[in-house]
Structure 1
Amino acid sequence: MRKMLPFFSIILLFGWQSVAADPPDTGISGVYEVMVGVADAEQALEYFKEFGFTPVASAELTAAQAAQRYGVKSALRSWRLQNGTVDAHGLLRLLQWANPLGPGVGFAPPETVGTRMAVMRTRDIHRLADVFADLRDGAGEPLLLAGPVYDDLYNATEGVPSIVNRRVGVREMAVYGRWFNHVFFQRYGYTI
């Protein structure tokens, strides 16, 4: 029976795929830009600089211009950030309103509607865990840290992991803060 399980799994997988509906053609193929409202743009610019983002454009709108464009009667300062040389997707726009409509999402659970979250890959997740723990414990920044935790995606590790037979998977952690949430992941033993 154990030898038949992979065979049945393949049949089930391909059989299910053949009856699954195709996703609608929306013309959307990725996220081009994410807009995030911040209370302190200088602090946010410095923060995202640490993750490789640099400002590539900025603008200021009067309250009348912002009302026409966004429906908010408040002056606005805006920065477009780019990560490395990638300019086709993954851009980040920081918005600092002179008179915000409200306090924003703030320090909220991850499933809160409107939560701002980014997922980023790292080469050293344990170093990031230390950095955010230092921010929380030393600088008093109210952060909730979850992880890092390891996951063997798709059971890709063959046999028993050892010094010779290394794991194949991903280690993830989440950092929940007052104005932004991050999920970081580090790949082990594979590339995409």
Structure 2
Amino acid sequence: MNQVQPLAIAGIYEVCIGVTDAVPQIQYWEQFGYRIGQIGELSASAAGELYGVRSKVRSVRLDHQDADHGLIRLMVWEKSTNDGLEMLSMKVKGNRWATTLTADLLNILNHAEDAQSANLPVKYTSPRWEVIYNKERKARPFIGAAVGVREMMLLQPLTRQVFFQRFNYALPNYGKIDENAFFKTSQITHMGMIIQDDSKETLLFYEEVLGLIRARDDVETTFESSLAGREIFDLHPGEKFVVTAFDDPRASKTDFAAARSGRLYILRFPSSIALGDRFNHANPGCLGMSLYTYRVSSIAEYFHRVKASNAQKITEIVPNEFGEPSFSFTAPDGYFWTLIESGSQ
């Protein structure tokens, strides 16, 4: 693939969640600041054309304040394919999750503990301290400011979430907290995927075909270096993964303060580690978090670019549930994507 100029693409637009009943999920996401936006549906044949699933689907798009990315789409399938990833380990190929900024991590932890005490299906990790930026900075406990985040994971049958709370630093374009929301959370700031590719060849697709920029690359997390990473991703002694973050073209490769939410985080595990393959449980038609979407300003140009790449199972451009021109494909790393036409970013 040849290097090309980036097209008009913003941060990841939606996390799509397969459900059997939208009402409980609407009530759940309202606590995080989301509200009902558009509602639409596709017939079984139309869903088959766009998503490869011959089942009628009714979808509800959930907005968050004035955000143009990091939204939720609840997809109510008449006939779902399977129960999805449920509460399976995060350490599998095909895994998808959503990360959100909060101003009140302890409130979320309190509810996670209450849910577990009530024997509800939930799994969570304790909030762990992590230094994300300027790791070489020398700490001065009880004298200087502690600069970093507390982060925790929360798994439920239909949702796979990571939450973080910042301390003593700010990123103006990376998450806008709704202070009126019960959990004081932003829109989804970044989404993640697990792959195995020692050559990094599959990463070129996101850079050269989709026109994203590598905001962070080859950031290593080991069992020994990160307690949060160890617990969230089930790392064993000696194991590691490497993170590459893709941002929309308005961000910067060198200035961390210019980071924008809507990022895609790809975690690469070395091929020497045995990982399960759950791609068939994280595609449209499955329950739970099963699809990410991007909006682009020239979908015809993106369609031709994706057709010329090594992506697979590329559909034609057809209207989605909301009447938006869209097409889907499977990226070289095995993940299913849908692109949506947008007049402007």
Q: TM-score, normalised by structure 2?
A: 0.45
Query: Residue 104 of structure 1: CA displacement?
Result: 1.5
Query: Residue 31 of structure 1: CA displacement?
Result: 0.6
Distance 1:62 1:155 in 2: 51
Distance 1:156 1:190 in 2: 16
- Are the aligned partners of 2:15 and 2:98 in contact in 1 as well (CA < 8 Å)? no
- Are the aligned partners of 1:115 and 1:180 in contact in 2 as well (CA < 8 Å)? no
Distance 1:113 1:55, change over 3 A: farther
Residue in 2 that maps onto 1:148: 127
Residue in 2 that maps onto 1:170: 149
Gaps of 5+ in 1: 1-22
Residue in 1 that maps onto 2:31: 50
Distance 1:61 1:152 in 2: 45
Distance 1:62 1:159, change over 3 A: closer
Gaps of 5+ in 2: 172-345
Higher helix share: 1
Instruction: Give SS of 1:147's match.
Output: coil
The number of equivalent residue pairs is 167
Report the aligned-residue RMSD.
Answer: 2.1
Query: Residue 179 of structure 1: CA displacement?
Result: 1.3
Distance 1:101 1:30 in 2: 28
Distance 1:38 1:113 in 2: 22
Letter of the 1:33 partner, please give it. Answer: E
Higher strand share: 2
- Are the aligned partners of 1:157 and 1:166 in contact in 2 as well (CA < 8 Å)? no
Residue in 1 that maps onto 2:52: 71
Instruction: Give SS of 2:92's match.
Output: coil
> For 2:79, which of 85, 99, 103 is the aligned residue?
99
Distance 1:41 1:114 in 2: 24
- Are the aligned partners of 2:60 and 2:75 in contact in 1 as well (CA < 8 Å)? yes
Residue in 2 that maps onto 1:14: none
Instruction: Give SS of 2:170's match.
Output: coil
Residue in 1 that maps onto 2:116: 136
What percent of counterpart residues are identical? 31
Residue in 1 that maps onto 2:165: 186
Could you list the per-position Cα deviations for residues 44-74 of structure 1 after superposition, in whole angstroms to 9, with x for gaps in the alignment? 1111111111111001333233233323221
Bigger CA radius of gyration: 1
Instruction: Give SS of 2:20's match.
Output: coil
Residue in 1 that maps onto 2:342: none
Is structure 2 residue 92 aligned with structure 1 residue 112?
Answer: yes
Query: Residue 110 of structure 1: CA displacement?
Result: 0.9
Compare 114-123 and 63-72 and name the one that shifted more: 63-72
Distance 1:113 1:58, change over 3 A: farther
Residue in 2 that maps onto 1:20: none
Distance 1:38 1:151, change over 3 A: same
Compare 151-160 and 53-62 and name the one that shifted more: 151-160
Residue in 1 that maps onto 2:186: none
Q: TM-score, normalised by structure 1?
A: 0.77
Distance 1:156 1:126, change over 3 A: farther
- Are the aligned partners of 2:131 and 2:147 in contact in 1 as well (CA < 8 Å)? yes
Instruction: Give SS of 1:167's match.
Output: coil
Compare 49-58 and 33-42 and name the one that shifted more: 33-42
Could you list the per-position Cα deviations for residues 143-165 of structure 1 after superposition, in whole angstroms to 9, with x for gaps in the alignment? 11112001233247655221x53
Q: Which has the higher contact order (CA 8 A, sep 6+)?
A: 2
- Are the aligned partners of 1:143 and 1:176 in contact in 2 as well (CA < 8 Å)? yes
Distance 1:40 1:108 in 2: 21
Q: Stretches of 4+ moved more than 4 A in 1?
A: 23-26, 156-159
Distance 2:43 2:70 in 1: 27
